[in-house]
Structure 1
Amino acid sequence: MIKETEIVCAPEVHDNQAAITKQASLQINIPVNRIKGIKVLKRSIDARGRKVIYRMQVRVFVDEQPQPEHYTVNYPNIKEAKPVIIVGAGPAGLFAALQCIEQGFKPIVIERGKDVKQRRRDLADINKQGVVNPESNYCFGEGGAGTYSDGKLYTRSTKRGDVNAVLKAFVAHGAPEDILVDARPHIGTNKLPQIITAMRETILNAGGEVLFDTKVIALIIEFDQIKGVKTSAGETLKANAVILATGHSARDMFEMLHSQNILIEAKPFALGVRIEHPQEIIDRAQYHCDVRGEYLPPSYYSLVEQVDERGVFSFCMCPGGIIAPCATEPNEIVVNGWSPSKRNNPYANSGTVVQINLEDIPGDNADPFKLLNFQKQVEQAAFAAGGGLLVAPAQRMVDFVEGRLSADLPKNSYLPGTKSVALKDVLPQLVHNRLRKALPVFGKKMKGYYTNEAILVGVESRTSSPVKIPRDRETLQHPQITGLFPCGEGAGYAGGIISAAIDGINCAVAAMKLLG
């Protein structure tokens, strides 16, 4: 007999099998000696009351042994199968490739950047020397932006596809099984590279191809049908299906499409700053205690407020995290955040951003580059304010709200360094004004949040793509080009690792239907 029930326990026993079994026994009114196994299905922390508790949905095996679960997948050999070209080796591209193999097609993955191992050197140059390689950075390279800028797997995109199937694929390639049960699953930047490498090996072992340091410079189109791509290496690769999964920062891809008269559109996005607190401030606020207990993880938060008819919200919150320099071109500042698997850094950071719509910016709304050019201008202004070498403009929180230049800046996690700047001279007025109004309100919602111990670092500008590549809702193909599948964050159809992976799977399935 198998029963399912919810149990509640203190943090110090949440991973104690005997304690969980005893609690389940009381919950279902069956003696402990009849329970042969417990499987945790979902696990979350509830800090709403005076005491912090764990809530767990568990499956209880009564008078029978649980069967071990296996997450490996036996992929067929597709070396001689029909090809599908996938542009980009981020989560959308990798999961599209795995789906192609499962359905008997050969993926050819083209990645402009380097593999995860070689990519580390370029990230070191960014952090230590302030030098950006436009082809290999925090955004470009194997695994995409998420590989070295966090690896959080929390998503609200449950209606787009099977989230659990994506999580199981990660586990099959080396991720911890905890991601299958945690309410806010997270792998961590220190562990993701090995998992991404394992995915690449799966693709290669099945007969697929992965090409690094290779950029697509043109699509081959005949009578409005895709026939392949041309690469920077001078090669012509042929296929009747191309999945564009290039990520939100591949600006030259948008320019290539526009030069080939392929429809693209300007798309709203969000822009602001990354705010960092000492983690202990967030823990005190969320756990209602002076010191976080050893059995509790660093706490997170999610904040949103309507200000002057526009949403101001926290984004990509990283407990125990680090602020990273994520520019993709010289002379621009872009910041993001990430956390190691243990989330044991002394700081907590989060993007705090304001929605930018087409009507907010002067100019022609029909110009597909209207918001992308605006994004560039803000990033270049941030670089100039920092003074070069990826030094970022920054300001203490209360100083920012009250309009004072910070006399000094608190210690923080941004490695290239920060410079005290009046951020009103960097941020667009509509962003600056709304942030000034929102931050004290956030402080009322979360005790201790509004403090001069917090630092605002500019600018958080790559929240999503400022350009959309349109596609048909049913076929997922571009409305002008048969066989062209805009995919993932770069095309405007995802926001994060899981939603991008799901969109990659969906586009691969659509491509398979086209190819028969």
Structure 2
Amino acid sequence: MKKELQLVLSPEEAYDEALFQKTVAEKSGLSSHKNLIIRTTKRSIDARSKKVKINVTVEIFSGQNPEPLINSGKDYPNVKNSEPIIIVGAGPAGLFAALRAIELGVKPIVLERGKDVRARRRDLAALNKEHIVNPDSNYCFGEGGAGTYSDGKLYTRSKKRGDLRRIMEILVAHGANEDILVDAHPHIGTNKLPILIAELRESILAAGGEVLFNTKVTDFLIEKDSIKGVVTSDGEKISGIGVILATGHSARDVFHLLSRKNILIEAKPFALGVRIEHDQKLIDRIQYHCQSDRGPYLPASSYSLVQQTVLNGKQRGVFSFCMCPGGFIVPSASSPGEIVVNGMSPSRRDGKFANSGMVVAVELEDLPKYQKYGPLSALVFQQEVEQAAWEVGGKSQVAPAQRMMDFVNNKLSKDLLETSYQPGLKSANFNDFLPEFIAKRLAMALPLMDKKMKGYYTNDAHLVGVESRTSSPVRIPRTKEGFEHPQISRLYPCGEGAGFAGGIVSAAMDGERCAEKLIEKYAKMDIGSA
């Protein structure tokens, strides 16, 4: 027999495995049955009241074995001799496009400008310790893309884009913990993501696909408004039945290439601001209503904040972005001469600090001085802010920082707090180098956020800057139904870099859809139905 229950448990009952099994058996009325199998299917934390509760949905099996938790495995057909498609970029969009292409009987050739995930670590170490930025291997570029060295958040609002459960099951099949199928806000962790990414690559290779590292695309092969392939930095020409362009939100050279070749692109709104770092214990006390530590059962708490601001008659949102409980702030510049910060967390989220982006929505009408740059207007604005931060930080990866209340009061901080940011911090007044409309809106919003999280607004937190790679400042347009570029046939803009995704899961789903659309239209024509 099978029974499903929805329960409200204490943190100890939910997360202590032995107590969990005992509690569920008793509440189900089946404690007298032998060999019960209890499986959690949904789990979420409810911290709205002073006493934190865990909402859990469970399946209980008595006298029968449960069906498999996942349907997707690693059994892919061999496509070694099939006609190829070209996928530019080995981030989540590119890797999942490749796996979906294999399932549909087409050979993917994945081109990645950076290094494999293991070799990439050395360049990240040089960035953190020696402040050396490798423009092709950094926190943005390399196998797995920007998501590899991140918190590994897997929740998304883009459920209409594809099959969310399917993406999760593929991740589990390649090494992710089954908890991601259960938790309301699943994550993997930066310590586990590299291993998983390498497993995804191995599945592509084992099925006869190709993954080429240190292979930077510098030109497109276009004939009669149709893309035939790409040219790499060493002059090699690689052809296929179509090209999925999944280069990520920081591939500025690709945006410039598209512009030079008069391939239609558009400036896109994005968001820009700072990263704010608190002591994790403070965030726990606020979110879990506890006087001291959160205890052994509750995970490090997170938050999500939004505040509308009005400046010069224009309303813009100020909001938290990519919140990393128990995490680290990392240098995410993709070129020398700029400062960019981002956040990441290990799977245990057991670091001393909590950090989150706190960013301001930037609309194109906010950038009148940049309109002369046309579709690259928001990109040039973004880059100039990053370069200004680099100047203020001392022309290294040392980042500008300011205590929160000092920033709001336009006061230079005499000293700074301990930080997780390895390259180091330099005291600076963000009002002196942030664009005025960004600084003013942040200063308006931060004190108001204290009404939503009492204690959040404090001088025992600081701003670290700048957080500017929230999303792509450029959109590469595509048709609504077919996902194909409206001007260049067989070109499929994909993922975050094209402006159609935001995060690991939405990018992965977009990659799958692009592969499906390309193959549906052109594989039948060229190689027969897959």
Deviates more, 1:65-74 or 1:246-255: 65-74
Give the TM-score of the pair, scaled to structure 1.
0.97
What letter is aligned with 1:301?
Answer: Y
* Deviation readout 1:189-239 (Å, 9 max, x if unpaired): 111111111111111111000111111111111111121111112111111
Q: Partner residue of 1:295?
A: 297
The answer on whether the counterparts of 1:266 and 1:370 sit within 8 Å (CA) in structure 2 is yes
The Cα of 1:12 is off from its aligned counterpart by: 1.3
CA 304–223 in structure 1, closer or farther in 2 if over 3 Å, else same: same
The Cα of 1:167 is off from its aligned counterpart by: 1.0
The Cα of 1:295 is off from its aligned counterpart by: 0.8
Distance 1:154 1:388 in 2: 36
CA 412–476 in structure 1, closer or farther in 2 if over 3 Å, else same: same
Distance 1:369 1:246 in 2: 16
Distance 1:95 1:32 in 2: 46
Q: Partner residue of 1:220?
A: 221
Q: Partner residue of 1:310?
A: 316
The answer on whether the counterparts of 2:218 and 2:257 sit within 8 Å (CA) in structure 1 is yes
Give 1:94-493 correspondences, 5 Å limit: 94-290=95-291, 291-308=293-310, 309-363=315-369, 364=371, 367-493=374-500
Q: Partner residue of 2:83?
A: 82
Q: Partner residue of 1:47?
A: 47
Deviates more, 1:183-192 or 1:484-493: 183-192
Query: 4+ residue stretches of structure 1 with deviation over 3 A?
Result: 15-32, 67-71
The Cα of 1:262 is off from its aligned counterpart by: 0.5
What letter is aligned with 2:42?
Answer: K
Distance 2:20 2:136 in 1: 50
What letter is aligned with 1:334?
Answer: V
Deviates more, 1:56-65 or 1:409-418: 56-65
CA 385–431 in structure 1, closer or farther in 2 if over 3 Å, else same: same
The Cα of 1:73 is off from its aligned counterpart by: 2.5
Deviates more, 1:276-285 or 1:385-394: 385-394
The Cα of 1:33 is off from its aligned counterpart by: 1.2
The Cα of 1:62 is off from its aligned counterpart by: 3.7
Deviates more, 1:22-31 or 1:280-289: 22-31
* Deviation readout 1:272-299 (Å, 9 max, x if unpaired): 0000000000000000002211111110
The Cα RMSD (Å) is 1.4
* Deviation readout 1:299-325 (Å, 9 max, x if unpaired): 000000101111000000000010000
What letter is aligned with 2:328?
Answer: I
What letter is aligned with 1:64?
Answer: Q
CA 204–404 in structure 1, closer or farther in 2 if over 3 Å, else same: same
* Deviation readout 1:450-472 (Å, 9 max, x if unpaired): 11110100100000000000000
The answer on whether the counterparts of 1:267 and 1:466 sit within 8 Å (CA) in structure 2 is yes
Deviates more, 1:168-177 or 1:23-32: 23-32
The answer on whether the counterparts of 2:275 and 2:467 sit within 8 Å (CA) in structure 1 is yes
What letter is aligned with 1:307?
Answer: T
The Cα of 1:97 is off from its aligned counterpart by: 0.3
* Deviation readout 1:45-77 (Å, 9 max, x if unpaired): 111112111111111224423244455221000
**Structure 1: any 5+ residue segments left out of the alignment?**
none
Q: Partner residue of 1:92?
A: 93
The Cα of 1:388 is off from its aligned counterpart by: 1.8
The Cα of 1:15 is off from its aligned counterpart by: 3.5
What letter is aligned with 2:57?
Answer: Q
The answer on whether the counterparts of 1:465 and 1:489 sit within 8 Å (CA) in structure 2 is yes
Distance 2:330 2:17 in 1: 38
SS where residue 166 of structure 1 aligns? helix
SS where residue 202 of structure 1 aligns? helix
SS where residue 210 of structure 1 aligns? strand
The answer on whether the counterparts of 1:21 and 1:32 sit within 8 Å (CA) in structure 2 is no
Distance 1:437 1:492 in 2: 29
Distance 1:334 1:17 in 2: 41
**Structure 2: any 5+ residue segments left out of the alignment?**
525-530
Distance 1:394 1:168 in 2: 41
SS where residue 336 of structure 2 aligns? coil
The answer on whether the counterparts of 1:359 and 1:365 sit within 8 Å (CA) in structure 2 is no
* Deviation readout 1:338-380 (Å, 9 max, x if unpaired): 0011111100000000000111011437800111000011000
What letter is aligned with 2:374?
Answer: D
Distance 1:292 1:485 in 2: 47
The Cα of 1:28 is off from its aligned counterpart by: 4.8
